[in-house]
Amino acid sequence: MKALRRAYAILRHAVLYALFVLYLSPFFLVLLNSFKSRREIVSNPFALPPAWSLNNFITAFQRMGFVPAFLNSLLITTCSVIGIAVFSSMTAYLFVRTDWRINKVMFFAMVASMLIPFQAIMIPLVRIYGSLSMLNTPWSLIYMYLGFGSSFAVFLYHGFIKSIPKELEEAAMIDGCSRLQVFFRVVFPLLRSTTLSLIILNVLWIWNDFLLPSLVLISADRRTLPLTTFYFHGTYSSDYGLLMASLMLTILPVIAFYIALQKHIIRGVMEGAIKA
Amino acid sequence: MSRVKLSLSVLVLALVLSLSSAVLAADVHVTVLNSKGEIQAQLEEIAAYYSSITEGVTVEIAAVPVGQSPFERATALYASGNAPTLLMVDAGDVLLFQDRALALNGEKWVADAIENSLGMATADDGRILAFPVTVEGYGFIYNRAVVEKALGRAFDPKTVNSIDALRQLFDDIEASGQASIVIGPEDWSLGAHFFALAYATQSPDFAEIKKFQEGLKKGEIKLADNAQVNGLLDTFDLMKEYNYDKIDPLASTYDRGTELIGTGEVAVWFQGNWTWPQIKDFTDNREFGFLPVPISSNPADYGNTQVPVGVTKYFIMDAEQNSPEQQQAAKDFLNWLGYDPEGQKRMVIDASIIPAFKNITIVPEDPLAASLLEYVREGKTLNFVLNLPPDHWAQVGASMQKYLADFVDRAGLLGEIEAYWLGK
Amino acid sequence: MLASEKRFVDKLKNYLLFAGPTTLVFITVIILPFLFGIYLTFTNWDGISKAYTFVSFSNYKQVIQDPAFWTSFLRTVKYVFYTVLLVNTIGFSLAYALTGGKVLGENLLRTGFFVPNLIGGIILGLVWRFIFSNVLVFLGRTLNIGFLSTSWLANPNKALWTLVIVTVWQYSGYMMIIFIAGLSNIPKELLEAATIDGATGFQRLRTIVLPLMVPAFIVTVFLTIQRGFMVYDVNIALTNGGPFKSTQLISMFVYEKAFLSQQYGVGQSEAFFLFLLVAAISLTQVYFTKKLEVEV
Residue B15 has pLDDT above 50, yes or no: no
Average pLDDT of span C106-114: 90
According to DSSP, the β-strands at B288-291 and B179-182 are unpaired
| Chain A partners within 8 Å of B186 (Cβ) | none
What residue numbers bound the domain in which B227 lies? Answer: 137-309+385-421
| Chain C partners within 8 Å of A127 (Cβ) | 36, 40, 47, 264
Q: Kindly compute the dihedral angle of the four CA atoms of residues A54, A58, A63, A67, in this order, to the nearest 10 degrees.
A: 130
C4 confidence band (pLDDT: 50, 70, 90):
low
Helix (H) or strand (E) holding B287: none
Q: Note the pLDDT of residue B16.
A: 47
Of A166, A211, A269, the CB nearest to C233: A211
Same structural domain, B297 and B389? yes
Q: For B165, which DSSP code?
A: H
Average pLDDT of span B362-386: 88
Average pLDDT of span A158-186: 87
Residue A130 has pLDDT above 80, yes or no: no
Q: Note the pLDDT of residue B11.
A: 44
Q: Which chains touch B (3 or more CB pairs under 8 A)?
A: A, C
- Structure confidence by residue, pLDDT tens digits, B186-230: 888 999 999 999 999 999 988 899 999 999 999 999 999 999 999
Q: Specify whether domain C66-295 bears CATH 3.90.79.10.
A: no
Q: Note the pLDDT of residue A1.
A: 67
Reduced to 3 states, what is the DSSP secondary structure of residue B133?
strand
The distance of B71 to chain C (nearest Cα, Å) reads: 9
Q: Note the pLDDT of residue B101.
A: 92
Cα–Cα distance for residue pair B44/B34, rounded to 1 Å: 10
Q: Do B251 and C21 touch (CB under 8 A)?
A: no
C50 confidence band (pLDDT: 50, 70, 90):
low
Average pLDDT of span C188-216: 84
| Chain B partners within 8 Å of A146 (Cβ) | 2
Average pLDDT of span B401-406: 94
Same structural domain, B46 and B172? no
- Structure confidence by residue, pLDDT tens digits, C267-293: 899 999 888 988 888 888 888 877 776
**pLDDT above 70 covers what percent of chain A?**
96
Same structural domain, B164 and B190? yes
Can you list the positions of beta strands (E) in chain A?
none
- Count of alpha carbons within 13 Å of A98, Cβ hemisphere only? 31
A213 touches chain B (CB under 8 A): no
Cα–Cα distance for residue pair C285/B327, rounded to 1 Å: 61
- Structure confidence by residue, pLDDT tens digits, C75-86: 999 999 999 999
Same structural domain, B182 and B240? yes
CATH number at residue B176: 3.40.190.10
**Identity of the residue numbered B73:** R
The distance of B288 to chain A (nearest Cα, Å) reads: 23
Cα–Cα distance for residue pair A71/B171, rounded to 1 Å: 56
B424 confidence band (pLDDT: 50, 70, 90):
confident
Q: Note the pLDDT of residue C47.
A: 64
| Residue whose C-alpha is closest to residue B149's, from B126, B129, B124, B177 | B177
Residue B154 maps to a domain: yes
Lowest mean pLDDT among B231-240, B306-315, B372-381, C169-178: B372-381
Residue B174 maps to a domain: yes
Reduced to 3 states, what is the DSSP secondary structure of residue B61?
strand
Is B262:B256 a contact under the CB 8 Å cutoff?
no
Count Cβ atoms within 10 A of the Cβ of residue C74 and give its class: 0-12 exposed, 13-18 middle, 19 or more buried: exposed
Mean pLDDT of chain A: 88
Output B62 or B220, whichever has higher pLDDT: B220
For chain B, what is the domain count? 2
Indicate which of C66, C158, C244, C266 best probes the interface with B, i.e. most B CBs within 10 Å of its own CB. C244
Residue B14 maps to a domain: no
Which residue(s) pair with B134 in the sheet?
Answer: B313
For residue A230, what are the CA distances in angstroms to A7, A243, C221, C236?
47, 10, 30, 10
Q: Note the pLDDT of residue A276.
A: 55
Average pLDDT of span B334-352: 91
Average pLDDT of span A192-218: 89
Same structural domain, B149 and B190? yes
Count Cβ atoms within 10 A of the Cβ of residue A162 and give its class: 0-12 exposed, 13-18 middle, 19 or more buried: exposed
What is the C-alpha radius of gyration for chain A, rounded to an integer number of angstroms?
24
SS (H, E, C) B203-245: CCCHHHHHHHHHHHHCCCCCHHHCHHHHHHHHHHHHHHHHECC
Long-range contacts of B146-151 (CB under 8 A, 24+ apart): B146/B178, B146/B264, B146/B266, B146/B267, B147/B173, B147/B267, B147/B268, B149/B176, B149/B178, B150/B175, B150/B176, B150/B177, B150/B178, B150/B267, B151/B176
Average pLDDT of span A208-234: 86
Same structural domain, B75 and B171? no
Residue B301 maps to a domain: yes
- Structure confidence by residue, pLDDT tens digits, C121-154: 999 999 999 899 889 988 988 888 888 888 888 8
Provide the whole-model pTM. Answer: 0.79
Q: Tell me the residues of chain A between 132 and 151 that have a Cβ less than 8 Å away from chain B.
A: 132-133, 135-136, 139, 142-143, 146
Count Cβ atoms within 10 A of the Cβ of residue A245 and give its class: 0-12 exposed, 13-18 middle, 19 or more buried: buried
| Chain A partners within 8 Å of B68 (Cβ) | 218
Residue B141 maps to a domain: yes
- Structure confidence by residue, pLDDT tens digits, B21-61: 444 445 888 999 988 877 777 888 999 999 999 988 999 88
Lowest mean pLDDT among B174-183, B310-319, C184-193, C263-272: C184-193
Q: Find the farthest-apart pair of alpha carbons in chain A and give their distance in angstroms, rounded.
A: 76
Q: Do A238 and B2 touch (CB under 8 A)?
A: no
Residue A220 has pLDDT above 80, yes or no: no
**pLDDT above 70 covers what percent of chain B?**
92
Q: Note the pLDDT of residue B20.
A: 45
CA angle C146, B255, B304 (to 5 degrees): 95
Residue B278 maps to a domain: yes
Q: Do A120 and C37 touch (CB under 8 A)?
A: yes
- Structure confidence by residue, pLDDT tens digits, B248-264: 898 887 878 888 999 99
Residue C1 has pLDDT above 50, yes or no: no
A238 touches chain B (CB under 8 A): yes
The distance of C55 to chain A (nearest Cα, Å) reads: 17
| Chain C partners within 8 Å of A98 (Cβ) | 2-3, 5, 11, 14-15
Average pLDDT of span A15-38: 92
Indicate which of B1, B248, B406, B421 best probes the interface with C, i.e. most C CBs within 10 Å of its own CB. B248
Average pLDDT of span A129-146: 86
Q: What does the DSSP assignment read for A103-157? A: HHHHHHHHHHHTTS-HHHHHHHHHHHHHHTT--SSHHHHHHHHHHHHHHHHHHHH
Say what angle helices C8-25 and A138-161 make with each other, to 10 degrees: 120
Same structural domain, B199 and B316? no
**Identity of the residue numbered A218:** I
**Domains in chain A with CATH codes:** 65-210 (1.10.3720.10)
| Residue whose C-alpha is closest to residue C63's, from C280, C277, C279, C272 | C272
Reduced to 3 states, what is the DSSP secondary structure of residue A79?
helix
Residue of C nearest to B416 (CA): C68
Same structural domain, B186 and B75? no
